[in-house]
Amino acid sequence: MGSDMYGFIECRWDRWLDEEDRRWTAAISLSHLYNGRSYVGFGALFGVRDTTSFRPLADHRGLPPDASQEARADFEPWSDLHGASWITWAELLTADWEEAANEVDACVHEYRRRSDGSWEMHGQNTDLTRFAELAGINDPHALYRAGSIHPEGTEWPDGDRLFRIGRLRRKDAVPDSDWGAVWSVMRTLAGLHGDEGVRLVVWFD
């Protein structure tokens, strides 16, 4: 059975108020911003599902004791969970997003050439029809797990794109194509509430 992620972006005022009045409030439900199911991303951030690729940034911290009323109400019905956790915008800002995964990715990576001649990762196991032609792979199982068969660093050039066996970087595990809206809202709120005054609270079924 698959796992999905739920939660809220929360914020609190850290200025002008006494400590007891600095309560966390829900700013927006995660359902409006993220609808993916990337287990390597879940693992890189929260140690859920994929527990080997990266050291998680916020490993199973649980629901924060001072969680917003909205988060507590939504969380309460869930009993069979893979985990709950939270992370602040300040922590996300200081993470090493260039950190390489602990192991070679089983998926082949496709890169596209930028205008300056450098390579930018486009995705994992993308255009497998063309990759199969370049690599001479006929077995579908081998095609989807080429990284388990070919040595790290093996490349198949294809004009202005390149297929390569390698390791994900942490930023590849949580690409802007999936997470950009989440980061954008957190960044905007941090401009009002400070980096420590914004956090992402999540749980998984």
Residue 18 pLDDT greater than 90, yes or no: no
Task: Encode pLDDT of 171-196 as tens digits.
Answer: 999 999 999 999 999 999 999 999 99
Query: Mean pLDDT, the chain, as a whole number?
Result: 92
What's the pLDDT score for residue 13? Answer: 75
Average pLDDT value for residue range 123-145: 96
CA dist 158 → 109, 120, 132 (Å): 13, 14, 12
User: What's the whole-model pTM score?
Assistant: 0.87
What lies within 8 Å, CB to CB, of 41 at 6+ separation is 173, 174, 178, 179
